[in-house]
Amino acid sequence: MKSVRAVLDYLVAGEVSYIFGIPAGSVNAFFDELYDTPSITPIVTKHEGAASYMAAAYAKYSDSLGVCIGSSGPGGTNLVTGAANAMREHLPVLFLTGAVPVDTVGLNASQELHADPLYHSVTKYSQRVDRAEDLLPEIHKAVEIAMTGVPGPVHIAMPIDVQLTDILEPAIPTFPQRTPLLPTDEVVLETAKMLASSESGFLFVGQGIRGAVDDVLELAETLNWPIVTSPQAKGFIPDHHPLKRGIFGFAGHEEASDLINHGSEETVLVLGSSLGETATNNWNPNITKNRTLIQVDYDATVFNRKYPVDHPLHGDIDVTVSSLITALNGLGVKRAPFPAKDSAVPDVTEEFNSQNVLWSLQEKLPADTRFTIDIGEFMAYVVHYMGVKSEDSFDINVHFGAMGSGIGSAIGAKLADPERPTVSITGDGCFFMHGMELLTAKEYDIPVLFIVMNNSRLGMVHHGHTLQYKRAHERFGQEEVNISQMAASLGVPNARIESMEDLNDENLSAILNAEGPAVLEVSLVDDNVPPMGDRVKFLSSFGK
């Protein structure tokens, strides 16, 4: 059998359902084997970068391995950004790239690229395989690395002649399963005693609490401590929870800032946040000033990066928090009932601005809609104003901040969780990067609504320069393009909104009831300063 056939058999054994990417000469042997692999669907995209975001989102929401493939040379370089994104989000994605025949390496073969060094800094493991008998073992090794410990992306380069070489039929290795990380009983009990003896404190939670929200809420209620979230964790703590104090960091809320900057709480318990720049308002020292810092994370490298940690707990959030609750109960600290509070309803006016449009649109969408948020000025309005109506309802990629990633992420998320309504909120700048994946969604009949905030400029850049330099270059804008007409040319249902009055059921019925993808273009230039919180103060005072 061909060595590449063994790779496909291994992926089948691991119940891989989708492979995202683009066929090309150096990976055609792989794609040829897919003819005989009906359980795996190749999602052929329009750009390898978009494929990488799809694979990452699929890994996130399916809680399984994502697989992405590209050609040697440009296919491999196009995937690097997605690998870096997956690395920042700790997502297990197997990146496969083709490579030129082994005996042509160094001879300037077509699309030759020594790819594996490029991936070293953005993956947990990267290797080119030059012997056919080593291909399956290296793939298995890479997947094991991707899915164990702290999950993350890996990369294997496969020379085309290696893929095609016959090998003896191998035994298919057992697909790896991740073993949960749990601190020792002694460390858990010590931490519980610290929490129980603390006069006051608050929880600072990041996106690492995904899958552990109920336990996190129970812990907060047991301690009777308020909860502050990072921007990436928006969507986990419901608006109606009485202990929620909002978002701190980029586009955060005054109540959360007041608690951190002026509160008297003596302990901060950080759960699943690496305390990066956007989560901490440029590493605000007040988060830990005169406070004891207890941090829980499965990634030990986050401890003491910027903030000295008084008491680290190295473990998965779900099992660690559950163990802390049990220990607290054993110390006599019991959960108190917390009735839900009424969610605040923003005052939607008739002004045609980003805040009013996004809130009004959310009210017309199912309550359990998942939103994948792209990079742009609209992101600040989403973080600050949109409501949290259901769990895990926002995918905000401000960590790595790749424009266009929200488009591919929506497609991957929908394939992973097909019953959940999925909406991509993107901008014209992002759409011009990866908007042709709209056609991918149509070809595979993937029902995602793409809301495109079209202001005919790079909005975040425009506002950033205006705040920092008091001027913005005219070339940050571009000629207005009717994106709904672009969608129409692809045969995709669409609507264009140019005023608040246009947000009516008649205009929206076609896109809200579409069986496949649809586009809602919001043609709006909003010159209000986005609600970026302390980021506005930072940019306004930068260089002074």
DSSP per residue, 157-169: EEEHHHHHSB-PP
Report residue 115's pLDDT band, with 50, 70 and 90 as the boundaries: confident
Mean pLDDT of 172-199: 96
Q: What is the pLDDT of residue 212?
A: 97
Residue 245 CA, chain-centre distance (Å), reads 23
| CA angle (190 as vertex; 188, 191 as ends), nearest 5 | 65
Q: 537 pLDDT band (50/70/90 cuts)? A: low
Delineate the domains of the chain, giving CATH numbers in brackets. Answer: 3-164 (3.40.50.970), 185-330 (3.40.50.1220), 354-541 (3.40.50.970)
pLDDT surpasses 60 at 536: no
- Report yes or no: 209 and 271 within 8 Å, Cβ to Cβ: yes
In the predicted model, what is the mean pLDDT of residues 48-76? 97
Mean pLDDT confidence for 112-140: 95
Sequence-distant (≥ 6) Cβ neighbours of residue 227 within 8 angstroms: 202, 203, 205, 216, 217, 220, 237, 241, 243, 244, 245
Rounded to the nearest integer, the mean pLDDT of the chain is 92
Residue 151 pLDDT greater than 70, yes or no: yes
C-alpha 48/C-alpha 440 separation (Å) is 12
> Residue 135 phi/psi, 5° resolution?
-65, -55
The whole-number pLDDT of residue 100 equals 87
Other residues' Cβ atoms within 10 Å of the Cβ of residue 169: 10
pLDDT confidence of residue 541: 46
- Which of these, 20, 64, 37, 91, lies nearest to 417 by C-alpha position? 64
Cα dihedral angle (404, 407, 409, 413), rounded to 10 degrees?
170
d(CA 335, CA 351) in angstroms, rounded, equals 44
DSSP 441-461: HHHTT--EEEEEEE-SB-HHH
Query: Among 137-146, 157-166, 212-221, 449-458, which stretch is predicted with the lowest mean pLDDT?
Result: 449-458
Kindly indicate the confidence band of residue 542, based on its pLDDT and cuts at 50, 70 and 90.
very low
d(CA 405, CA 424): 10
516 Ramachandran zone, left/alpha/beta (phi>0; psi -120 to 50): beta
Q: By CB neighbour count within 10 A (0-12 exposed, 13-18 middle, 19+ buried), where does 36 fall?
A: exposed
Q: Please state the rounded mean pLDDT for residues 325-335.
A: 96
> What is the mean predicted confidence (pLDDT) over 251-275?
96
Average pLDDT on 238-256 reads: 94
Give the lowest-confidence range in 10-19, 375-384, 464-473: 464-473
Q: Are 373 and 425 contacting, i.e. CB atoms less than 8 angstroms apart?
A: yes
Asked if pLDDT for residue 398 goes beyond 90, the answer is no
Per-residue pLDDT, 533: 62
Nearest-angstrom CA–CA distance, 65 and 147: 7
* 232 touches 85 (CB < 8 A): no
Average pLDDT rounded to a whole number, residues 251-262: 95
**Backbone phi, then psi, for 244, in 5-degree steps?**
-70, 130
DSSP 3-state of 256: helix
Mean pLDDT of 271-278: 95
231 has a pLDDT exceeding 80: yes
Residue-level pLDDT at 459: 54
**Amino acid identity, position 364:** K
Over residues 434-480, the pLDDT tens digits come to 999 999 999 999 999 999 999 865 656 655 767 677 777 676 767 88
* Rounded percentage of the chain residues whose pLDDT exceeds 70: 94
pLDDT at 477: 67
DSSP tag of 72: T
The pairing of beta strand 422-427 with beta strand 448-454: parallel
C-alpha separations of 56 from 11, 225, 239, 384, 463 in Å: 17, 34, 28, 25, 30
Task: Extract the tokens encoding 200.
Answer: 């006051």
* Residue 543 pLDDT > 50: no
Answer with the residue of higher pLDDT: 536 or 67: 67
Using one digit for the tens of pLDDT, what is the confidence trace for 76-108?
A: 999 999 999 999 999 999 999 999 887 877 777
| The pLDDT of residue 460 | 65
Do residues 272 and 317 make contact, with C-beta atoms less than 8 angstroms apart? Answer: yes
pLDDT for position 423:
98
Cβ(136)–Cβ(3) below 8 Å: yes
H-only helix segments in 91-202 = 116-119, 132-147, 160-164, 185-197
Do you know the residue count of the chain?
Answer: 544
Under 8 Å between Cβ of 47 and 437: yes
pTM for this prediction: 0.93
Q: Which amino acid is at 50?
A: A
CA–CA dist 58, 67 (Å, integer): 9
